[in-house]
Structure 1
Amino acid sequence: MEEMIPSRLATLGHPHRLAIFRLLVRRYPDRVAAGEIGVALGLKPSTLSAYLAALMRARLVTQTREGTSLRYAIDMTEVRRTFDYLLLDCCRGRPDLCVPVSFPSLTGPLQMPDRKYNVLFICTGNSARSIFAESILRKEAGDRFNAHSAGTKPYSELNPFAVQVLRDKGHDISVLRAKHVSEFQGPDAAKMDFVFTVCDQAANEDCPAWEGQPVTAHWGMPDPVRAEGTDAQKGLAFQHAYGALRNRIHAFAALHLETLDRMALQKAVDEIGRDAAEVRS
Protein backbone atom coordinates (compact mmCIF):
# COMPACT_ATOMS: atom_id res chain seq x y z
CA MET A 1 0.00 0.00 0.00
CA GLU A 2 2.69 2.52 1.01
CA GLU A 3 4.39 2.45 -2.39
CA MET A 4 1.06 3.29 -4.11
CA ILE A 5 0.38 6.47 -2.15
CA PRO A 6 2.75 8.82 -4.06
CA SER A 7 1.36 7.54 -7.37
CA ARG A 8 -2.22 8.03 -6.26
CA LEU A 9 -1.60 11.51 -4.93
CA ALA A 10 0.24 12.48 -8.11
CA THR A 11 -2.59 11.09 -10.23
CA LEU A 12 -5.20 13.09 -8.34
CA GLY A 13 -3.00 16.19 -8.50
CA HIS A 14 -4.10 16.78 -12.10
CA PRO A 15 -7.33 18.85 -12.17
CA HIS A 16 -9.04 16.82 -14.90
CA ARG A 17 -8.18 13.46 -13.37
CA LEU A 18 -9.43 14.79 -10.04
CA ALA A 19 -12.66 15.92 -11.74
CA ILE A 20 -13.21 12.40 -13.12
CA PHE A 21 -12.50 10.91 -9.70
CA ARG A 22 -14.99 13.25 -8.04
CA LEU A 23 -17.69 12.52 -10.62
CA LEU A 24 -17.30 8.78 -10.11
CA VAL A 25 -17.45 9.20 -6.34
CA ARG A 26 -20.72 11.13 -6.73
CA ARG A 27 -22.06 8.38 -9.00
CA TYR A 28 -20.97 5.52 -6.73
CA PRO A 29 -22.01 2.69 -6.85
CA ASP A 30 -22.89 3.16 -10.55
CA ARG A 31 -20.62 2.11 -13.40
CA VAL A 32 -20.52 5.10 -15.75
CA ALA A 33 -19.98 4.93 -19.51
CA ALA A 34 -16.88 6.68 -20.80
CA GLY A 35 -18.95 8.76 -23.21
CA GLU A 36 -21.13 10.04 -20.41
CA ILE A 37 -18.08 11.09 -18.39
CA GLY A 38 -16.66 12.88 -21.43
CA VAL A 39 -19.87 14.79 -22.08
CA ALA A 40 -20.28 15.76 -18.42
CA LEU A 41 -16.71 17.11 -18.17
CA GLY A 42 -16.25 18.35 -21.74
CA LEU A 43 -13.30 16.02 -22.49
CA LYS A 44 -12.31 14.58 -25.87
CA PRO A 45 -12.35 10.76 -26.07
CA SER A 46 -8.56 10.44 -26.51
CA THR A 47 -7.86 12.79 -23.60
CA LEU A 48 -10.43 11.08 -21.39
CA SER A 49 -8.96 7.67 -22.21
CA ALA A 50 -5.50 8.79 -21.06
CA TYR A 51 -6.87 10.20 -17.81
CA LEU A 52 -8.89 7.05 -17.08
CA ALA A 53 -5.87 4.87 -17.80
CA ALA A 54 -3.85 6.84 -15.23
CA LEU A 55 -6.59 6.43 -12.62
CA MET A 56 -6.71 2.69 -13.31
CA ARG A 57 -2.92 2.36 -13.01
CA ALA A 58 -3.24 4.00 -9.60
CA ARG A 59 -5.96 1.42 -8.81
CA LEU A 60 -8.46 4.14 -7.93
CA VAL A 61 -10.87 3.25 -10.75
CA THR A 62 -12.04 -0.05 -12.24
CA GLN A 63 -13.15 -0.77 -15.80
CA THR A 64 -15.77 -3.21 -17.04
CA ARG A 65 -17.12 -3.91 -20.51
CA GLU A 66 -20.85 -4.12 -21.11
CA GLY A 67 -21.47 -5.00 -24.74
CA THR A 68 -19.56 -2.42 -26.75
CA SER A 69 -19.44 0.09 -23.90
CA LEU A 70 -16.64 0.58 -21.38
CA ARG A 71 -17.87 1.59 -17.95
CA TYR A 72 -15.93 2.94 -14.99
CA ALA A 73 -16.46 2.98 -11.26
CA ILE A 74 -14.57 4.02 -8.16
CA ASP A 75 -12.62 1.22 -6.49
CA MET A 76 -14.00 2.15 -3.09
CA THR A 77 -11.93 -0.47 -1.26
CA GLU A 78 -8.68 1.04 -2.52
CA VAL A 79 -9.89 4.59 -1.97
CA ARG A 80 -10.71 3.76 1.64
CA ARG A 81 -7.33 2.11 2.11
CA THR A 82 -5.66 5.25 0.81
CA PHE A 83 -7.56 7.50 3.20
CA ASP A 84 -6.95 5.09 6.07
CA TYR A 85 -3.22 5.12 5.34
CA LEU A 86 -3.09 8.92 5.23
CA LEU A 87 -5.03 9.20 8.46
CA LEU A 88 -3.03 6.58 10.35
CA ASP A 89 0.43 7.36 8.96
CA CYS A 90 0.47 11.05 8.10
CA CYS A 91 -1.83 12.14 10.91
CA ARG A 92 -0.83 9.40 13.36
CA GLY A 93 -4.45 8.45 13.82
CA ARG A 94 -5.46 11.92 15.01
CA PRO A 95 -8.92 12.71 13.59
CA ASP A 96 -8.68 16.21 15.06
CA LEU A 97 -6.02 16.88 12.41
CA CYS A 98 -7.42 15.07 9.37
CA VAL A 99 -11.20 15.03 9.75
CA PRO A 100 -13.05 18.33 9.18
CA VAL A 101 -14.29 19.85 12.40
CA SER A 102 -17.82 20.01 10.98
CA PHE A 103 -17.94 16.29 10.16
CA PRO A 104 -20.18 14.37 12.58
CA SER A 105 -18.89 11.36 14.47
CA LEU A 106 -18.54 8.24 12.33
CA THR A 107 -18.87 5.86 15.25
CA GLY A 108 -22.06 7.06 16.91
CA PRO A 109 -25.65 7.15 15.70
CA LEU A 110 -26.83 10.04 13.55
CA GLN A 111 -27.35 12.79 16.08
CA MET A 112 -30.86 14.21 15.93
CA PRO A 113 -32.50 16.91 17.97
CA ASP A 114 -36.21 16.66 18.73
CA ARG A 115 -37.34 16.94 15.10
CA LYS A 116 -37.99 14.88 12.01
CA TYR A 117 -35.25 14.00 9.54
CA ASN A 118 -35.00 16.33 6.53
CA VAL A 119 -34.61 14.51 3.22
CA LEU A 120 -33.97 16.11 -0.17
CA PHE A 121 -34.31 14.31 -3.52
CA ILE A 122 -32.57 15.95 -6.48
CA CYS A 123 -32.85 15.47 -10.22
CA THR A 124 -32.36 17.84 -13.13
CA GLY A 125 -35.89 18.96 -14.03
CA ASN A 126 -37.70 18.27 -10.71
CA SER A 127 -40.77 17.33 -12.74
CA ALA A 128 -41.08 13.55 -12.23
CA ARG A 129 -38.56 11.31 -10.44
CA SER A 130 -37.66 13.61 -7.54
CA ILE A 131 -41.32 14.64 -7.26
CA PHE A 132 -42.27 10.96 -7.04
CA ALA A 133 -39.69 10.38 -4.30
CA GLU A 134 -40.81 13.40 -2.30
CA SER A 135 -44.47 12.35 -2.52
CA ILE A 136 -43.84 8.71 -1.66
CA LEU A 137 -41.71 9.46 1.40
CA ARG A 138 -44.22 12.06 2.64
CA LYS A 139 -47.11 9.60 2.31
CA GLU A 140 -45.31 6.49 3.58
CA ALA A 141 -43.28 7.95 6.46
CA GLY A 142 -44.29 11.57 6.89
CA ASP A 143 -44.35 11.11 10.66
CA ARG A 144 -40.55 10.61 10.65
CA PHE A 145 -39.35 12.58 7.64
CA ASN A 146 -39.78 16.00 6.07
CA ALA A 147 -39.61 15.20 2.36
CA HIS A 148 -38.39 17.75 -0.20
CA SER A 149 -37.32 17.73 -3.83
CA ALA A 150 -35.53 20.10 -6.16
CA GLY A 151 -33.87 20.33 -9.56
CA THR A 152 -30.56 21.65 -10.79
CA LYS A 153 -32.36 23.02 -13.86
CA PRO A 154 -36.03 22.74 -12.89
CA TYR A 155 -38.84 22.90 -15.41
CA SER A 156 -41.51 25.52 -14.91
CA GLU A 157 -44.24 22.87 -14.55
CA LEU A 158 -44.53 19.31 -13.31
CA ASN A 159 -44.81 16.61 -15.94
CA PRO A 160 -48.51 15.85 -16.55
CA PHE A 161 -47.91 12.08 -16.69
CA ALA A 162 -46.18 12.25 -13.29
CA VAL A 163 -49.01 14.30 -11.85
CA GLN A 164 -51.57 11.79 -13.11
CA VAL A 165 -49.68 8.84 -11.56
CA LEU A 166 -49.52 10.63 -8.22
CA ARG A 167 -53.20 11.53 -8.37
CA ASP A 168 -54.11 7.92 -9.18
CA LYS A 169 -52.00 6.71 -6.23
CA GLY A 170 -53.82 9.01 -3.83
CA HIS A 171 -51.06 11.56 -3.22
CA ASP A 172 -51.72 15.19 -2.32
CA ILE A 173 -50.44 17.05 -5.38
CA SER A 174 -51.48 20.49 -4.11
CA VAL A 175 -48.20 20.82 -2.17
CA LEU A 176 -45.99 20.04 -5.16
CA ARG A 177 -44.10 22.47 -7.37
CA ALA A 178 -40.84 22.51 -9.31
CA LYS A 179 -38.06 24.09 -7.23
CA HIS A 180 -34.42 25.02 -7.76
CA VAL A 181 -31.86 23.36 -5.52
CA SER A 182 -30.70 26.79 -4.33
CA GLU A 183 -33.84 27.00 -2.18
CA PHE A 184 -32.24 24.40 0.07
CA GLN A 185 -28.81 25.98 0.27
CA GLY A 186 -27.53 29.01 2.14
CA PRO A 187 -27.54 30.11 5.77
CA ASP A 188 -31.33 30.38 6.10
CA ALA A 189 -32.17 27.01 4.54
CA ALA A 190 -33.25 24.03 6.62
CA LYS A 191 -30.40 21.64 7.42
CA MET A 192 -30.65 18.45 5.38
CA ASP A 193 -29.97 15.08 7.03
CA PHE A 194 -30.12 13.09 3.77
CA VAL A 195 -29.58 14.15 0.15
CA PHE A 196 -30.27 11.67 -2.66
CA THR A 197 -29.74 12.24 -6.38
CA VAL A 198 -32.20 10.24 -8.47
CA CYS A 199 -30.93 11.09 -11.94
CA ASP A 200 -27.47 10.60 -13.40
CA GLN A 201 -27.21 14.06 -14.92
CA ALA A 202 -27.76 15.80 -11.59
CA ALA A 203 -25.19 13.54 -9.92
CA ASN A 204 -22.68 14.38 -12.67
CA GLU A 205 -22.84 18.07 -11.81
CA ASP A 206 -20.19 19.41 -9.47
CA CYS A 207 -22.32 21.10 -6.81
CA PRO A 208 -21.02 22.73 -3.62
CA ALA A 209 -20.78 20.53 -0.54
CA TRP A 210 -23.84 20.55 1.67
CA GLU A 211 -23.72 22.33 5.01
CA GLY A 212 -23.76 19.98 7.99
CA GLN A 213 -22.44 16.99 6.02
CA PRO A 214 -25.73 15.13 5.38
CA VAL A 215 -25.68 11.47 4.44
CA THR A 216 -25.74 11.37 0.64
CA ALA A 217 -26.26 8.68 -1.99
CA HIS A 218 -26.97 8.29 -5.69
CA TRP A 219 -30.11 6.37 -6.64
CA GLY A 220 -29.99 6.92 -10.39
CA MET A 221 -32.73 5.61 -12.62
CA PRO A 222 -33.96 6.09 -16.21
CA ASP A 223 -35.88 9.26 -16.97
CA PRO A 224 -39.51 8.45 -17.79
CA VAL A 225 -39.85 11.85 -19.44
CA ARG A 226 -37.69 10.51 -22.28
CA ALA A 227 -40.05 7.60 -22.96
CA GLU A 228 -41.37 7.44 -26.52
CA GLY A 229 -44.43 5.89 -28.09
CA THR A 230 -48.12 6.17 -27.37
CA ASP A 231 -49.52 7.87 -24.30
CA ALA A 232 -50.13 4.41 -22.82
CA GLN A 233 -46.48 3.47 -23.33
CA LYS A 234 -45.31 6.74 -21.83
CA GLY A 235 -47.65 6.30 -18.90
CA LEU A 236 -46.21 2.84 -18.29
CA ALA A 237 -42.69 4.30 -18.07
CA PHE A 238 -43.88 6.66 -15.33
CA GLN A 239 -45.55 3.78 -13.51
CA HIS A 240 -42.28 1.84 -13.58
CA ALA A 241 -40.35 4.84 -12.28
CA TYR A 242 -42.84 5.31 -9.46
CA GLY A 243 -42.63 1.63 -8.50
CA ALA A 244 -38.84 1.58 -8.50
CA LEU A 245 -38.65 4.65 -6.27
CA ARG A 246 -41.32 3.27 -3.94
CA ASN A 247 -39.22 0.13 -3.44
CA ARG A 248 -36.12 2.17 -2.59
CA ILE A 249 -37.97 4.45 -0.23
CA HIS A 250 -39.57 1.50 1.56
CA ALA A 251 -36.08 0.07 2.09
CA PHE A 252 -34.80 3.44 3.32
CA ALA A 253 -37.73 4.06 5.68
CA ALA A 254 -37.30 0.56 7.15
CA LEU A 255 -33.75 1.35 8.35
CA HIS A 256 -33.38 1.68 12.12
CA LEU A 257 -31.68 5.05 11.91
CA GLU A 258 -31.41 5.50 15.65
CA THR A 259 -29.21 2.39 15.97
CA LEU A 260 -26.88 2.88 12.97
CA ASP A 261 -23.65 4.87 13.08
CA ARG A 262 -22.87 7.03 10.05
CA MET A 263 -20.61 4.49 8.40
CA ALA A 264 -23.24 1.75 8.65
CA LEU A 265 -25.94 4.15 7.49
CA GLN A 266 -23.87 5.28 4.50
CA LYS A 267 -23.29 1.67 3.54
CA ALA A 268 -27.01 0.95 3.82
CA VAL A 269 -28.11 3.81 1.55
CA ASP A 270 -25.35 2.95 -0.93
CA GLU A 271 -26.60 -0.63 -1.01
CA ILE A 272 -30.09 0.59 -1.88
CA GLY A 273 -28.59 2.42 -4.85
CA ARG A 274 -26.35 -0.51 -5.78
CA ASP A 275 -29.24 -2.97 -5.84
CA ALA A 276 -31.14 -0.65 -8.16
CA ALA A 277 -28.08 -0.16 -10.40
CA GLU A 278 -27.63 -3.92 -10.78
CA VAL A 279 -31.25 -4.26 -11.86
CA ARG A 280 -30.73 -1.54 -14.49
CA SER A 281 -27.52 -3.06 -15.92
Structure 2
Amino acid sequence: MEIRIASQLSTLGHPQRLAIFRMLMRRMPDKVPAGEISAALDIKPSTLSAYLSNLLDAGLLGQTRVGTSLRYTVNVGEVQEMLDFLLLDCCRGRPDMCSPLAAGFGQGTGDMSLKKFNVLFICTGNSARSIFAETLLRDMGGERFAVFSAGTKPYSELNPMAVDVLRQKGHDVSALRAKNVQEFMTPDAPNFDFVFTVCDQAANEECPAWSGQPISAHWGMVDPVKAAGSDAERSLAFQTAYGALRNRITAFTALPMTALDRISLQKAVDDIGHLNEETAP
Protein backbone atom coordinates (compact mmCIF):
# COMPACT_ATOMS: atom_id res chain seq x y z
CA MET A 1 0.00 0.00 0.00
CA GLU A 2 2.74 2.47 0.88
CA ILE A 3 4.25 2.16 -2.60
CA ARG A 4 0.85 2.84 -4.22
CA ILE A 5 0.21 5.85 -1.96
CA ALA A 6 3.65 7.24 -2.75
CA SER A 7 2.91 6.86 -6.47
CA GLN A 8 -0.42 8.65 -6.07
CA LEU A 9 1.11 11.55 -4.18
CA SER A 10 3.89 11.81 -6.75
CA THR A 11 1.32 11.86 -9.56
CA LEU A 12 -0.63 14.65 -7.87
CA GLY A 13 2.61 16.56 -7.30
CA HIS A 14 2.52 17.82 -10.90
CA PRO A 15 0.52 21.09 -11.19
CA GLN A 16 -1.43 20.16 -14.32
CA ARG A 17 -2.22 16.63 -13.16
CA LEU A 18 -3.43 18.13 -9.89
CA ALA A 19 -5.57 20.62 -11.85
CA ILE A 20 -7.21 17.73 -13.75
CA PHE A 21 -7.89 15.89 -10.51
CA ARG A 22 -9.36 18.98 -8.85
CA MET A 23 -11.61 19.72 -11.81
CA LEU A 24 -12.96 16.17 -11.83
CA MET A 25 -13.56 16.38 -8.08
CA ARG A 26 -15.64 19.51 -8.67
CA ARG A 27 -17.60 17.64 -11.33
CA MET A 28 -18.24 14.57 -9.16
CA PRO A 29 -19.97 12.27 -9.92
CA ASP A 30 -20.01 13.26 -13.61
CA LYS A 31 -18.01 11.36 -16.20
CA VAL A 32 -16.28 14.10 -18.20
CA PRO A 33 -15.04 13.79 -21.82
CA ALA A 34 -11.34 14.33 -22.40
CA GLY A 35 -12.10 17.12 -24.89
CA GLU A 36 -13.97 19.09 -22.25
CA ILE A 37 -11.12 18.71 -19.77
CA SER A 38 -8.66 19.87 -22.45
CA ALA A 39 -10.73 22.94 -23.27
CA ALA A 40 -11.47 23.88 -19.66
CA LEU A 41 -7.83 23.65 -18.53
CA ASP A 42 -6.22 24.73 -21.80
CA ILE A 43 -4.09 21.60 -22.05
CA LYS A 44 -3.14 20.21 -25.46
CA PRO A 45 -4.91 16.90 -26.21
CA SER A 46 -1.64 15.00 -26.60
CA THR A 47 -0.34 16.33 -23.29
CA LEU A 48 -3.67 15.68 -21.58
CA SER A 49 -3.63 12.09 -22.80
CA ALA A 50 -0.31 11.51 -21.04
CA TYR A 51 -1.53 13.14 -17.82
CA LEU A 52 -4.76 11.12 -17.81
CA SER A 53 -2.74 7.96 -18.34
CA ASN A 54 -0.60 8.85 -15.31
CA LEU A 55 -3.68 9.43 -13.16
CA LEU A 56 -5.26 6.18 -14.35
CA ASP A 57 -2.09 4.21 -13.67
CA ALA A 58 -2.02 5.64 -10.15
CA GLY A 59 -5.60 4.48 -9.61
CA LEU A 60 -6.88 8.00 -9.00
CA LEU A 61 -9.24 8.09 -11.99
CA GLY A 62 -11.66 5.74 -13.67
CA GLN A 63 -12.31 5.61 -17.41
CA THR A 64 -15.55 4.79 -19.25
CA ARG A 65 -16.25 4.60 -22.97
CA VAL A 66 -19.48 6.22 -24.14
CA GLY A 67 -19.81 5.65 -27.87
CA THR A 68 -16.56 6.91 -29.35
CA SER A 69 -15.79 9.13 -26.39
CA LEU A 70 -13.66 8.30 -23.36
CA ARG A 71 -14.93 9.84 -20.13
CA TYR A 72 -13.17 10.25 -16.83
CA THR A 73 -14.19 10.44 -13.19
CA VAL A 74 -12.43 10.33 -9.83
CA ASN A 75 -11.92 6.88 -8.31
CA VAL A 76 -13.43 7.72 -4.94
CA GLY A 77 -12.44 4.46 -3.28
CA GLU A 78 -8.75 4.90 -4.07
CA VAL A 79 -8.79 8.53 -2.98
CA GLN A 80 -10.44 7.58 0.31
CA GLU A 81 -7.78 4.94 0.95
CA MET A 82 -5.05 7.50 0.24
CA LEU A 83 -6.58 10.02 2.65
CA ASP A 84 -7.16 7.36 5.30
CA PHE A 85 -3.53 6.34 5.08
CA LEU A 86 -2.32 9.93 5.42
CA LEU A 87 -4.61 10.78 8.32
CA LEU A 88 -4.74 7.54 10.23
CA ASP A 89 -1.30 6.07 9.57
CA CYS A 90 1.07 8.92 8.81
CA CYS A 91 -0.65 11.43 11.11
CA ARG A 92 -1.74 8.80 13.64
CA GLY A 93 -5.32 10.05 13.63
CA ARG A 94 -4.50 13.25 15.52
CA PRO A 95 -7.87 14.83 16.35
CA ASP A 96 -6.62 18.36 15.64
CA MET A 97 -5.88 17.28 12.05
CA CYS A 98 -8.55 14.65 11.42
CA SER A 99 -11.66 15.90 13.16
CA PRO A 100 -12.63 18.55 10.56
CA LEU A 101 -12.77 15.84 7.88
CA ALA A 102 -14.42 13.18 10.00
CA ALA A 103 -16.92 15.41 11.75
CA GLY A 104 -20.61 14.90 11.21
CA PHE A 105 -22.52 17.59 9.33
CA GLY A 106 -23.17 20.63 11.47
CA GLN A 107 -21.14 19.36 14.41
CA GLY A 108 -20.74 22.03 17.04
CA THR A 109 -23.61 24.17 15.77
CA GLY A 110 -25.92 23.57 18.72
CA ASP A 111 -29.53 22.49 18.25
CA MET A 112 -29.62 21.37 14.62
CA SER A 113 -33.41 21.40 14.62
CA LEU A 114 -33.18 25.20 14.94
CA LYS A 115 -30.37 25.70 12.45
CA LYS A 116 -30.97 27.73 9.30
CA PHE A 117 -28.81 26.39 6.47
CA ASN A 118 -27.04 28.79 4.13
CA VAL A 119 -27.14 27.60 0.50
CA LEU A 120 -25.42 29.06 -2.58
CA PHE A 121 -26.19 28.13 -6.19
CA ILE A 122 -23.58 29.01 -8.82
CA CYS A 123 -23.71 29.05 -12.61
CA THR A 124 -21.80 31.03 -15.21
CA GLY A 125 -24.18 33.92 -15.81
CA ASN A 126 -26.55 33.87 -12.81
CA SER A 127 -29.27 34.61 -15.34
CA ALA A 128 -31.47 31.48 -15.38
CA ARG A 129 -30.56 28.14 -13.77
CA SER A 130 -29.09 29.46 -10.52
CA ILE A 131 -31.90 32.04 -10.31
CA PHE A 132 -34.46 29.23 -10.69
CA ALA A 133 -32.74 27.22 -7.94
CA GLU A 134 -32.50 30.21 -5.59
CA THR A 135 -36.17 31.08 -6.02
CA LEU A 136 -37.41 27.51 -5.74
CA LEU A 137 -35.52 26.73 -2.54
CA ARG A 138 -36.49 30.04 -0.98
CA ASP A 139 -40.16 29.36 -1.66
CA MET A 140 -40.16 25.61 -0.96
CA GLY A 141 -37.76 25.53 1.98
CA GLY A 142 -39.72 27.76 4.29
CA GLU A 143 -37.65 29.16 7.14
CA ARG A 144 -35.07 26.34 7.03
CA PHE A 145 -32.79 27.89 4.40
CA ALA A 146 -31.14 31.21 3.63
CA VAL A 147 -30.64 31.03 -0.13
CA PHE A 148 -28.31 32.88 -2.49
CA SER A 149 -27.16 32.56 -6.09
CA ALA A 150 -24.25 33.96 -8.10
CA GLY A 151 -22.44 33.76 -11.41
CA THR A 152 -18.79 33.44 -12.35
CA LYS A 153 -18.95 35.98 -15.21
CA PRO A 154 -17.85 39.50 -14.23
CA TYR A 155 -21.11 40.98 -15.51
CA SER A 156 -24.52 39.48 -16.12
CA GLU A 157 -28.22 40.24 -16.11
CA LEU A 158 -31.36 38.23 -15.50
CA ASN A 159 -32.71 36.49 -18.58
CA PRO A 160 -36.20 37.86 -19.40
CA MET A 161 -37.56 34.41 -20.32
CA ALA A 162 -36.33 32.99 -17.01
CA VAL A 163 -38.03 35.80 -15.10
CA ASP A 164 -41.24 35.23 -17.09
CA VAL A 165 -41.25 31.53 -16.17
CA LEU A 166 -40.88 32.37 -12.48
CA ARG A 167 -43.73 34.87 -12.68
CA GLN A 168 -45.93 32.31 -14.47
CA LYS A 169 -45.26 29.84 -11.66
CA GLY A 170 -46.35 32.38 -9.05
CA HIS A 171 -42.95 33.33 -7.62
CA ASP A 172 -42.12 36.82 -6.37
CA VAL A 173 -39.25 38.08 -8.55
CA SER A 174 -39.02 41.61 -7.19
CA ALA A 175 -35.85 40.99 -5.16
CA LEU A 176 -33.96 39.00 -7.81
CA ARG A 177 -30.78 40.38 -9.31
CA ALA A 178 -27.73 38.95 -11.05
CA LYS A 179 -24.73 38.74 -8.72
CA ASN A 180 -21.07 37.83 -9.11
CA VAL A 181 -19.62 35.08 -6.95
CA GLN A 182 -17.02 37.53 -5.61
CA GLU A 183 -19.79 39.08 -3.48
CA PHE A 184 -19.76 35.91 -1.40
CA MET A 185 -16.01 35.69 -0.91
CA THR A 186 -15.65 38.68 1.39
CA PRO A 187 -15.00 38.39 5.15
CA ASP A 188 -18.57 39.42 6.00
CA ALA A 189 -20.20 36.99 3.56
CA PRO A 190 -22.33 34.14 4.96
CA ASN A 191 -20.67 30.85 5.89
CA PHE A 192 -22.32 28.38 3.58
CA ASP A 193 -23.52 24.92 4.55
CA PHE A 194 -24.09 23.92 0.91
CA VAL A 195 -22.62 25.15 -2.38
CA PHE A 196 -24.06 23.79 -5.63
CA THR A 197 -22.91 24.38 -9.20
CA VAL A 198 -25.74 24.07 -11.71
CA CYS A 199 -23.74 24.35 -14.92
CA ASP A 200 -20.70 22.47 -16.18
CA GLN A 201 -18.75 25.60 -17.07
CA ALA A 202 -18.97 27.02 -13.55
CA ALA A 203 -17.95 23.66 -12.08
CA ASN A 204 -14.97 23.52 -14.43
CA GLU A 205 -13.65 26.85 -13.21
CA GLU A 206 -11.15 27.01 -10.38
CA CYS A 207 -12.59 28.77 -7.33
CA PRO A 208 -11.02 29.28 -3.91
CA ALA A 209 -12.05 26.81 -1.23
CA TRP A 210 -15.08 27.99 0.69
CA SER A 211 -14.63 28.71 4.38
CA GLY A 212 -16.56 26.60 6.83
CA GLN A 213 -16.20 23.38 4.81
CA PRO A 214 -19.62 23.44 3.11
CA ILE A 215 -20.97 20.34 1.43
CA SER A 216 -20.68 20.90 -2.31
CA ALA A 217 -22.22 19.10 -5.27
CA HIS A 218 -22.60 19.50 -9.01
CA TRP A 219 -26.16 19.65 -10.35
CA GLY A 220 -25.28 20.41 -13.96
CA MET A 221 -27.94 20.75 -16.62
CA VAL A 222 -28.41 22.10 -20.13
CA ASP A 223 -28.41 25.90 -20.38
CA PRO A 224 -31.86 27.06 -21.54
CA VAL A 225 -30.38 30.44 -22.52
CA LYS A 226 -28.56 28.68 -25.38
CA ALA A 227 -31.72 27.05 -26.75
CA ALA A 228 -32.38 27.77 -30.42
CA GLY A 229 -35.55 27.67 -32.50
CA SER A 230 -38.92 29.35 -32.19
CA ASP A 231 -40.10 31.27 -29.15
CA ALA A 232 -42.17 28.23 -28.17
CA GLU A 233 -39.13 25.93 -28.39
CA ARG A 234 -37.01 28.31 -26.38
CA SER A 235 -39.76 28.71 -23.79
CA LEU A 236 -39.97 24.92 -23.47
CA ALA A 237 -36.23 24.81 -22.70
CA PHE A 238 -36.72 27.21 -19.79
CA GLN A 239 -39.78 25.32 -18.55
CA THR A 240 -37.82 22.07 -18.67
CA ALA A 241 -34.89 23.54 -16.71
CA TYR A 242 -37.30 24.92 -14.13
CA GLY A 243 -39.03 21.55 -13.78
CA ALA A 244 -35.76 19.66 -13.43
CA LEU A 245 -34.56 22.01 -10.70
CA ARG A 246 -37.92 21.81 -8.96
CA ASN A 247 -37.50 18.01 -8.82
CA ARG A 248 -34.05 18.40 -7.31
CA ILE A 249 -35.07 21.07 -4.81
CA THR A 250 -38.03 18.92 -3.75
CA ALA A 251 -35.66 16.02 -3.05
CA PHE A 252 -33.19 18.30 -1.28
CA THR A 253 -35.76 19.81 1.07
CA ALA A 254 -36.96 16.29 1.95
CA LEU A 255 -33.52 15.21 3.23
CA PRO A 256 -33.41 14.55 6.99
CA MET A 257 -30.50 16.96 7.52
CA THR A 258 -30.15 16.43 11.25
CA ALA A 259 -30.22 12.63 10.98
CA LEU A 260 -27.48 12.22 8.35
CA ASP A 261 -23.75 12.29 8.88
CA ARG A 262 -21.59 14.26 6.47
CA ILE A 263 -20.73 11.29 4.24
CA SER A 264 -24.37 10.23 3.90
CA LEU A 265 -25.46 13.78 3.18
CA GLN A 266 -22.74 14.22 0.56
CA LYS A 267 -23.89 11.06 -1.22
CA ALA A 268 -27.49 12.21 -1.05
CA VAL A 269 -26.83 15.57 -2.70
CA ASP A 270 -24.61 13.90 -5.32
CA ASP A 271 -27.46 11.52 -6.15
CA ILE A 272 -29.91 14.41 -6.44
CA GLY A 273 -27.69 15.86 -9.18
CA HIS A 274 -28.58 12.86 -11.33
CA LEU A 275 -32.33 12.90 -10.89
CA ASN A 276 -34.27 12.43 -14.12
CA GLU A 277 -34.61 15.83 -15.78
CA GLU A 278 -37.90 14.84 -17.40
CA THR A 279 -40.71 17.05 -16.22
CA ALA A 280 -43.96 18.56 -17.34
CA PRO A 281 -43.71 22.25 -18.22
1:102-137 CA distance string (max 9 Å, x none): x37523655545552111100000000000000100
* Unaligned ranges ≥5, structure 1: none
Residue number in structure 2 paired with 1:63: 63
How far apart are residue 275 of structure 1 and its match? 4.0
Q: Distance in 2 between matches of 1:95 and 1:34?
A: 39
Q: Are 2:248 and 2:275, in contact at CA under 8 Å, matched by a contact in 1?
A: no
Listed as ranges, the matches of 1:105-116 within 5 Å are: 106-107=103-104, 109-112=106-109, 114-116=114-116
Distance 1:98 1:117, change over 3 A: closer
Q: Are 1:123 and 1:151, in contact at CA under 8 Å, matched by a contact in 2?
A: yes
Residue number in structure 2 paired with 1:87: 87
Distance 1:110 1:236, change over 3 A: farther
Q: Report the AA paired with residue 10 of structure 2.
A: A
Residue number in structure 1 paired with 2:257: 257
Residue number in structure 1 paired with 2:196: 196
Distance 1:89 1:179, change over 3 A: same
Q: Are 2:247 and 2:275, in contact at CA under 8 Å, matched by a contact in 1?
A: no
* Unaligned ranges ≥5, structure 2: none
Quick one: percent identity of the two aligned structures? 65
SS at match of 1:122: strand
Q: Are 1:7 and 1:58, in contact at CA under 8 Å, matched by a contact in 2?
A: yes
2:200 pairs with 1:206? no
1:215-257 CA distance string (max 9 Å, x none): 1111111111111110100111111111111111111100111
Listed as ranges, the matches of 1:12-161 within 5 Å are: 12-98=12-98, 103=100, 106-107=103-104, 109-112=106-109, 114-153=114-153, 155-161=155-161
1:153-203 CA distance string (max 9 Å, x none): 155321111111101000001010000011111211121111100001101
Runs of 4 or more above 6 Å deviation: none
Residue number in structure 1 paired with 2:165: 165
Number of corresponding residues: 274
Q: Are 2:228 and 2:234, in contact at CA under 8 Å, matched by a contact in 1?
A: yes
Q: Distance in 1 between matches of 2:221 and 2:173?
A: 22
Residue number in structure 2 paired with 1:186: 186
Distance 1:43 1:104, change over 3 A: closer
TM-score of the two chains, using structure 2 as the length reference: 0.93
SS at match of 1:29: coil
Residue number in structure 1 paired with 2:6: 6
Q: Are 1:109 and 1:259, in contact at CA under 8 Å, matched by a contact in 2?
A: no
Q: Are 1:87 and 1:95, in contact at CA under 8 Å, matched by a contact in 2?
A: no
Distance 1:115 1:96, change over 3 A: closer
Q: Are 2:126 and 2:156, in contact at CA under 8 Å, matched by a contact in 1?
A: no
How far apart are residue 274 of structure 1 and its match? 3.8
Q: Report the AA paired with residue 263 of structure 1.
A: I
Q: Distance in 2 between matches of 1:229 and 1:33?
A: 27
How far apart are residue 140 of structure 1 and its match? 0.6
How far apart are residue 7 of structure 1 and its match? 0.8
Q: Are 2:195 and 2:216, in contact at CA under 8 Å, matched by a contact in 1?
A: yes
SS at match of 2:170: coil
Q: Distance in 2 between matches of 1:59 and 1:247?
A: 35
Q: Distance in 2 between matches of 1:96 and 1:24?
A: 28
TM-score of the two chains, using structure 1 as the length reference: 0.93
Q: Are 2:152 and 2:181, in contact at CA under 8 Å, matched by a contact in 1?
A: yes
Q: Report the AA paired with residue 236 of structure 1.
A: L
1:80-100 CA distance string (max 9 Å, x none): 11111111210122232356x
SS at match of 2:4: helix
Distance 1:41 1:243, change over 3 A: same
Q: Are 1:257 and 1:265, in contact at CA under 8 Å, matched by a contact in 2?
A: yes
Q: Are 2:121 and 2:148, in contact at CA under 8 Å, matched by a contact in 1?
A: yes
